[in-house]
Amino acid sequence: MRTLKIIFILLFFFNQTNLQAYSTNPKEFIFELVSDAISKLSDKSLTNEEKAKFIEKIALENVDIKALSLYTLGELRKSTEEEILLSYQTAFEKYFLKSLTSRLTDYSSSKFEVTNSDQKSANYTIIQSVVSPDSGDPEIKIDWRVYTKNPDKPLIRDLIVEGLSLARTQKEEFASILNSNNNDISILIKKLEEFLKK
Amino acid sequence: MAIFKLNFNRILGKIIYIARTMILKKIKSFVFIMVFTFLTVSNLKAADECFENFSRAIFNFNMAFDDVIMEPVAKGYNKLPNPIKTGASNFTSNIATLLSIPNNLLQGNFKQLGHSTASFVVNTSVGILGIFNPAEKMGLKPHQEDVGQTLGIYGFGPGCYLVLPILGPSTARDTIGLLADTFIDPFAHVTIRENELFGASGNAIDYYSVKGTSAVNFRSDNLINLESLEKNSLDLYSSYKSIYLQDRNNKIKNSTEDQDDWGNLDN
C-alpha cells in the first residue's frame, strides 16, 4: 500500500513536470512550444500582463538568450572584459524579453504548422514552419534555428522570417551603433537601458 | 557659287564629323566613368556606405513621407474589401511579371522563363487582365526578377549601400539596375515611352499608378511588421539596411536558405 502511494506521488510529480516541458525532438519541440504560445496569446480570459509573463517564462526556458547576446555582439565579444560582457548580457536579456513580448502579442491570432525539419549538423537543426494569419493575409514562412548540442534540452537561437534572420538583423543593428561609437559597448548598454525605460 | 556650295558642304560635313566625334567621345567617357564607378563600388562590401550621413537624411525624409502619406493610405487601403485588395495585388503582380521575362532570359533561367511567360499569358487572358490568378492554381510560380538581380547573378557585387528618396534602400548595383529596368521592361516601353506593343498602349501615368498601387499594397501587407520593427529597433536605419540586404541576397540566390554565420559560438 505504501509503495503504491509512493508510485502515485511520483507519477503526480512526473506529470506535473511534463506539463511544463516540451519534447526533446526539435520538430515536436517547436510545434508544442508555438502551439502553447498561440493558445495562451489568444486566450481572452488572460490579461496582457499575464500573457507577457507567460511569453517571458517560455523564452527564458527555451531560447538561448545568452548565446544570442554574444552572437549579436560579433567579434567584439572576444575582446571584451568579463564584467562589461556580463552587464551587456543582463541588459540584452531584458531588451530581448521586452521586444519579444511586444512582437508576439501582435501575431496572436494565427494558425501554426511545422512543415519540415533539416538537421544541419550535430549542433543545429532548422525547423521550417508556416504561420497563417486568421485575417486572411498571406501566410508567413518561419524557420527556427534550434541548437541541439544538448539533445535533452533543445534551445532556439534564431527565427528566420521569410528568409530574414532576426538574429542577424539585430547583430547588424548593434554593429552600426558600435561602429559609430568607437566600439564602446557601454554606449550600446546605455541604448538598451534607454529602450527599457520607454 | 558652285565652289562656295562645295566648300559649305565640306565645312558642314566637317562640323558634323567633329560634333559626332565629340558626342561619341562624351558618350564613351560617360560609359567609361559609369562602368569604372560601378566596378569600383561593386568591389566594396554591401555593408560599406558611400554617403551615410546623406543616406540617413534621406531615410528620415522617407520615414516622414511614410508617416504623412504612405501609412495613412495603406491603412485606408486595408479597409477595402478583401476581393478588391486581392484583385489589385494580382493585377500589379501580373504586370511585374513582364519585367521578369527578359531578366529570366538574361539569367539563362529557362524554367523560370517558362513560369513567368505562361503565368502572364494565363492570368492576362483567363484571369481577366491579371485580376485573378489562375496560374497559381496551375502550379505556375514565377519569381520576381529585375536587372539588379541579373547583375548579381553575373557576379557584380552590390557596391555601397544608399537610400533613395521615396524608393528607399538600395545599393550601387541595384540603383543602376533600377534605371536599366525601365529600358527592358515591356510595360515601361508601352507606358513611359508610349510605344505600342501587341496593340497595347499607355502613358507614364499608367506606369506610376501601377507602381504606386504596388507600393501601397506592400505597405498595407506589412503594417504590423513595420510598426513592430519601428517600436523595437535601437537604430531603425540599420535594421532596414540589414533586412534589405538579406532580402536582395535571397532574391539573387532564389532561396531563403539561412547562411550559417554562427561560427564557433558553441558555449
B255 SS3 class: coil
Q: What is the largest CA-CA distance in chain B?
A: 96
Q: In angstroms, what separates the C-alpha of A187 from chain B's closest C-alpha? A: 12
B47 within 8 A of A180, measured Cβ to Cβ: no
Q: Which residues numbered 14-43 in A keep a CB inside 8 Å of some CB on B? A: none
User: A198 to each of A28, A55, A95, A125, A193, how far by Cα in Å?
Assistant: 36, 20, 11, 36, 9
| pLDDT tens digits, one per residue of A59-100 | 999 999 999 999 999 999 999 999 999 999 999 999 999 988
Q: Is A64 helix (H, G, I), strand (E, B) or coil?
A: coil
**Residue B257 counted as domain residue:** no
Local confidence band at A17 (pLDDT 50, 70, 90 cut-offs): very low
Residue B260 within any structural domain of the chain = no
CB contact under 8 A, B262 and A157: yes
Cβ under 8 Å to A: B residues 79-138: 82
CA distance B199 to chain A (A): 35
Q: How confident is the model at residue A15 (pLDDT cuts 50, 70, 90)?
A: very low
Q: CB of A94 within 8 Å of any CB in chain B? A: no
- Amino acid at residue number B98: L
Contact between B92 and B217 under an 8 Å Cβ cutoff? The reply is yes
User: Closest Cα of chain A to B206: distance in Å?
Assistant: 27
Contacts of A106 in chain B (CB under 8 A): 224, 227-228
pLDDT tens column, B52-85: 999 999 999 999 999 999 999 999 999 999 899 9
The residues, any chain, with a CB within 8 Å of residue B102's CB and separated by 6 or more, are B184, B185, B186
Q: Give chain A's count of helices (H) and strands (E).
A: 8, 5
Angle between helix axes B223-232 and B204-221 (nearest 10 degrees) is 60
A57-84 core/surface letters (b: 16 or more CB in 10 A; e: else): ebbeebbbbebbbbbbbeebbeebeeee
Nearest 10 degrees: Cα torsion B135, B140, B146, B151 = -170
Residue B264 within a domain: no
Alpha helix positions (H), B43-146: 52-65, 71-78, 82-107, 110-125, 134-137
Contacts of B258 in chain A (CB under 8 A): 126, 143, 145, 158, 160, 163, 165
Q: Mean per-residue pLDDT for B225-248?
A: 93
> How big is the CA angle at A143 (ends B263 and A166), to the nearest 5 degrees?
60
Packing angle, helices B71-78 and B204-221, rounded to 10? 80
Q: Please list every residue in chain A whose beta carbon sits closer than 8 Å to the beta carbon of residue B257.
A: 163
pLDDT given at position B198 = 80
- Please write the tens of the pLDDT for every residue from B195-213: 877 878 888 999 999 999 9
Q: B244 CA to chain A: closest CA distance, Å?
A: 9
Order of strands across the sheet that contains A124-133: A110-119, A124-133, A140-147, A155-161, A164-165
Find the residue in A nearest to B251 (Cα). Answer: A163
Structural domain includes residue B258? no
CA pair distance B175, A52, nearest whole angstrom: 43
Q: Which residue on chain B is closest to A157 by alpha carbon? A: B262
- A191·B256 Cβ contact <8 A: no
Q: Supply angle C-alpha B111, B147, B189, rounded to 5.
A: 95
- pLDDT recorded at residue B38: 54
β partners of residue A186: none
Asked if A169 and B239 come within 8 Å (Cβ–Cβ), the reply is yes
How long is chain A?
198
**CATH assignment at residue A87:** 3.10.450.710
In chain A, residues with a C-beta closer than 8 Å to the C-beta of B82 are 136
What is the C-alpha to C-alpha distance for residues B19 and A194, in angstroms, rounded to an integer? 64
Q: What is the pLDDT of residue A49?
A: 87
Residues of A in contact with B266 (CB under 8 A): 123, 149
Of A67, A70, A138, the CB nearest to B221: A138
What total number of domains does chain A contain?
A: 1
Give the number of domains in chain B. 1
Q: Which of A56, A23, A63 is nearest to A41 (CA)?
A: A56
Q: What's the pLDDT score for residue B143?
A: 92
C-alpha–C-alpha distance, residues B69 and B216, integer Å: 10
In a domain, B55, yes or no: yes
Residue A155 Cα to chain centre, angstroms? 8
Nearest 5°: the CA angle B122, B123, B128 is 115
Between chain A and chain B, the number of residue pairs with CB atoms below 8 A apart is: 81
* Beta bridge mates, A127: A117, A144
C-alpha cell of A183? 566600439
Range of the domain at A166: 2-197
A78, A137, A198: best to mutate for the B interface, most B CBs within 10 A = A137
- B3 to chain A, any CB pair closer than 8 A? The answer is no
Query: Å from B148 to nearest chain A CA?
Result: 19
Q: Do B258 and A106 touch (CB under 8 A)?
A: no
**Contacts for B70 with CB less than 8 Å, ≥ 6 apart:** B215, B216, B219
Look up the domain containing B108 and give its range: 2-252
Q: Tell me which amino acid residue B157 is.
A: G
Beta bridge partners of B124: none
Mean pLDDT for A22-47 is 89
Nearest Cβ partner of B246 from A102, A145, A165? A165
Work out the minimum CA distance from B228 to partner chain A, whole angstroms: 6
Say if B162 falls within a structural domain. yes
The whole-angstrom distance between B251's CA and the closest CA on chain A is 10
CA–CA separation, B178 vs B226, rounded Å? 24
What is the pTM for the complete model shown?
A: 0.82
The total of other beta-carbon atoms located within 10 Å of residue A170's CB is 25
Best residue in A169, A170, A194 for a mutation probing chain B (most B CBs within 10 Å): A169
Asked whether the beta carbons of A176 and B237 are under 8 A apart, the reply is yes
Which of A97, A172, A189 best probes binding to B when mutated, by most B CB atoms within 10 angstroms? A172
What element of type H or E holds A186? helix A185-197
Q: Is the ipTM of this complex over 0.85?
A: no
Residue B267 falls inside a structural domain: no
**How confident is the model over B106-157, as pLDDT tens digits?**
999 999 999 999 999 999 999 999 999 999 999 998 999 999 999 999 999 9
> Cβ of B40 under 8 Å from any chain A Cβ?
no
Mean pLDDT of chain A: 86
